[in-house]
Structure 1
């Protein structure tokens, strides 16, 4: 009974995190307010700082709230093992790029289209798992990947009512948004499998690994922020344009992956399929009724249905493990 409750709690957490991050990020990037819009590059940096602090607190708790034990562990695993630590630079840099791309994508795509298209990360993760980890996919997996590609292609099918997109608030450029999602899917697949490979080759806890990732991510994020938005940061500060919803987005991006890492062991593939499907449905409904930036067509619904079917079908056999600890 307790196990069943944990499963459904996991389902709720997965649906909430996936849906709320997409919708709040979309809302924060398109709503018009007083003053300048917040810098996406600074939000990425703030999320890395928050994630590092959260992981430090978890490790601190695991070591009986002993500062000496925490300090000893960090020195031993990070400072005294520089080559092991440097291995995390590659996925960290890719994750930093990916996080910036998600802001670009949701500045140009409605939440529903983004949610469906971003499921292509299943395809990229599967292909990188085969090439890098030597995984073998079953017939159901290969069939689901074909259905997934067909579904995403239908979702991106040109609308017969182009005026609707122009009437949507802050619609941006769909082409730029789709390109950002596709690059993010490729980076997510590679970085997730690479990180999984590192975790399997070492005995470090996932929280220590996330601290290492976060430290590199913070450095890469600062370099990106100063290089791309340096002048605006100097003029108006790093937190210009921040509002309460901006901080919600930062918190969801920073802590969401860690929450999923904590509950994912209770959620089987079928439950994760339910979570993805519910998230797509909720994003579509909220995007249409609340944000009013989405005008669904029958072709979109057919594509979204195929993506949902592909998600369930992919979980029918052993799914190559995507990175559970990074969102």
Structure 2
């Protein structure tokens, strides 16, 4: 029995490694690279008029379709059966919770952007980093030291500074704004983001349903929600009927969809083998990396503000990964001698 347990532990360790490297670190590096590529491709498509005529809603749905197809193939290749995807209605409902929260988050973001200046929204939305940490403590009983909380605060500030550095000096203010509504929507979106991510992490790490089965469930629910969103939006539905589902699609559009679909798979692996907090660090690093690549190849201007933000983000990552310092106070010699004398008196 002991040999069987040892062999099972070795098998589990092998499954959590990729060529001897823990999947935790491999997935974080891959996520950083993928997110960097996604940001660069999206920037290029937005800057090119011929590439920005496709419907973003249909592109999101196609990204989910790709994620479902890839997850189905990976589930088929593994030991798990495809029937596990729909085997338990209760498990399917669990997956529906983060999908529904992401839907609410997207709608709240739209309300926030419509009622806040772009700079205010970008700064306030970085509070999702803090909300993710709070939800990790509440839902997963994760303990974070004061050093790690400070690192997360610095990460929030650093990312906000980097995002602000890329904005024009005179930002446009949306007409008929309601600042209170915009800030409330942003804070609610941050809470939904943290709750959805951490809840998905919890069901991935505590349920027997495999990672790929969960991905299929989440993808199918997201496709259904996306199609309903188009159908119940009169403008989107009319445009879709007139021009078709794939209107404005080019080869680069499919590249963008592929990159985004891969991101959904990688994020699930990161949440499974690392956590949502480390995911935030990886995506923050990708923002910096994409801006640096844009500076080299696309003429993006690096400002002092951007460099300050980079330094803050890098220092926050160093602080979060650094072991917490523990101060051990030595007992005075006279107290130690008194304790030893007391022990001797108690000896028979």
* Superposed counterparts of 1:130-209, under 5 Å: 130-155=137-162, 162=169, 185-209=190-214
How far apart are residue 120 of structure 1 and its match? 5.0
Verify the 8 A CA contact 2:162 2:288 in the aligned structure 1: no
1:244 is aligned to 251
**Aligned with residue 75 of structure 2, among 41, 59, 71:** 59
Q: Which of residues 234, 257, 260 in structure 1 aligns to 2:264?
A: 257
- Matched with 1:50 is 66
1:214-225 alignment, distance < 5 Å:
214-225=219-230
What is the match of residue 123 of structure 1?
A: 130
Instruction: State the partner residue of 1:31.
Output: 48
- Residue 332 (structure 2) aligns with: none
Please tell me whether residue 212 in structure 1 is matched to residue 228 in structure 2: no
User: Structure 1 residues 233, 152: CA separation in 2 closer, same or farther (over 3 Å shift)?
Assistant: same
Query: What aligned pairs does 1:224-243 form with structure 2 within 5 A after superposition?
Result: 224-228=229-233, 229-243=236-250
In 2, the alpha carbon distance for the partners of 1:128 and 1:273 equals 14
Give the Cα–Cα distance (whole angstroms) in 2 for the partners of residues 109 and 287 of structure 1: 21
The Cα of 1:7 is off from its aligned counterpart by 8.6
- Does the aligned pair in 2 maintain the 1:117–1:152 contact within 8 Å? no
Gaps of at least 5 residues in structure 2 are 1-17, 325-348
Residue of structure 1 equivalent to 2:289: 282
Deviations 1:35-93 (A, max 9, x none): x71111111111111111111111111149xxxx53xx24xx52x42232112222112
* Partner secondary structure for residue 87 of structure 1: helix
Measure the CA separation in 2 of the matches of 1:86 and 1:266: 23
Alignment match of 1:299 (pick from 302, 305, 308): 305
TM-score, normalised to structure 1, is: 0.71
**Unmatched 5+ residue regions in structure 1?**
167-171, 319-327
- The structure, 1 or 2, with the larger RCO (C-alpha pairs under 8 Å, 6+ apart) is 1
Q: Cα distance, 1:286 vs. partner?
A: 2.7
Q: 1:268 & 1:3 partners in 2: Cα distance?
A: 20
- Does the 8 Å contact 1:38/1:240 carry over to 2? yes
SS in 1 for 2:148: helix
Provide the C-alpha distance between the structure 2 equivalents of 1:132 and 1:5, rounded to a whole number of angstroms: 25
Cα distance between partner residues in 2 of 1:219 and 1:47: 13
The question of whether the paired residues in 2 share the 8 Å contact of 1:138 and 1:317 is answered with: no
By how many angstroms is 1:20 displaced? 0.2
Residue equivalent to 2:314: 308
Whether the 8 Å CA contact 2:211–2:272 is kept in 1: the answer is no
**Partner Cα separation in structure 2 for residue 311 and residue 249 of structure 1:** 29
Alpha-carbon distance in 2 for matches of 1:194, 1:7: 19
Q: TM-score, normalised by structure 2?
A: 0.67
CA RMSD between the two structures: 4.3
Query: Structure 1's 267 and 222: CA in aligned 2 closer, same or farther, altered over 3 A?
Result: closer
Residues 99, 85 of structure 1: CA spacing in aligned structure 2 closer, same or farther, 3 A cutoff?
A: same
Question: Which string of whole-angstrom CA distances, capped at 9 and with x for unpartnered residues, describes residues 180-201 of structure 1?
Answer: 9977654332111111222344
Does the 8 Å CA contact 2:64/2:261 hold for their aligned counterparts?
yes
**Residue 291 to residue 93, structure 1, CA distance change in 2 (3 Å):** farther
SS at match of 2:66: helix
Larger Rg: 2
Alignment partner, residue 94 of structure 2: 87
**In structure 1, what is the equivalent of residue 3 of structure 2?**
none
Structure 1 pair 62–216 and aligned structure 2 pair: CA distance change class (3 A): same
1:160-179 Cα deviation digits (max 9, x unpaired):
9726x79xxxxx99x9xx98
From the superposition, tell whether residues 123 and 41 of structure 1 become closer, same or farther in structure 2 (CA, over 3 Å).
same
